[in-house]
Amino acid sequence: MVGRFMAQVGARSRPSDPSLGVLVGTVVIVGVVLNAVVGLLSLLAPTGFLAAVGQASASVTPATSVFAEYAGARELAIAVALIVCAASRIAPALAGVLVVAATANTLDAVEALASGRWLQLPGALLFAMAFTGAAIWFARRTRQSADSASGSRGSAET
C-alpha cells in the first residue's frame, strides 16, 4: 500500500504544480503544529500525553515520565527543525527533516502495531505517508532546480 502511494506521488509530483505545492505546504504546517503540540503536551502534561498514546494510568511513574520527556524533546526538535528549514526556504534540508519525521512516525506505527495500540496506528501511518510524500516533492524540486541551473550555465558557456 505504501509502495503504491509512493509510486503515485513520484509519478505525479511536478514541483511546478501549484495545487501540489499548496498540499505539501499544508503537510509541513500541520506537521509543525502537531509536533509542537504533542511535544509541549508531553513535557507539560505527561498524563495527557500518555493517555493520548494509549498508556493512561492514575499516576506517572519515573519510567513513564522519562518516556514522556523523551517523546516531547523529539517532537519539539522536529517542529523547530521544520520551522527553521521552511522559514529559511532550504528545500534539501526540509526534505531531510521530513524524512526524519516520516521515519519517526513509521517507527511509532510499527510499535503501535506490535503492542496493539490500534488507536495510535492510523495517525502514525497517515503522518508517515504525508511526510514521505512531502519529502519526495521537496527532493524532486531541489533536483530539478539544480538541473535547470546547471543547464542554464552550460548554455551560457557555449
Task: Give the model confidence (pLDDT) of 61-78 as tens digits.
Answer: 888 888 889 999 999 999
Amino acid at 3: G
For residue 20, name the pLDDT band (cuts at 50, 70, 90).
Answer: confident
Helix axes 2-12, 121-157, angle to 10 degrees: 30
**Residue in 21, 27, 115, 25 with CA at minimum distance from that of residue 67:** 115
Task: Give the pLDDT of residue 2.
Answer: 43
pTM (two decimals): 0.77
Could you tell me the three cell numbers for 80? 523547530
Least confident range from 35-44, 54-63, 77-86, 127-136: namely 54-63
The structural domain count of the chain equals 1
Tell me if 76 is assigned to some domain.
Answer: yes
The domain of 135 spans 19-145
Tell me if 153 is assigned to some domain.
Answer: no
Task: Give the pLDDT of residue 100.
Answer: 96
Tell me if 104 is assigned to some domain.
Answer: yes
Tell me if 4 is assigned to some domain.
Answer: no
Could you tell me the three cell numbers for 139? 527532493
Q: Which residues of 101-133 are buried (b: 16+ CB within 10 A; e: fewer)?
A: bbebbbebbeebeeeebeebbebbbebbbbbbb
Tell me if 67 is assigned to some domain.
Answer: yes
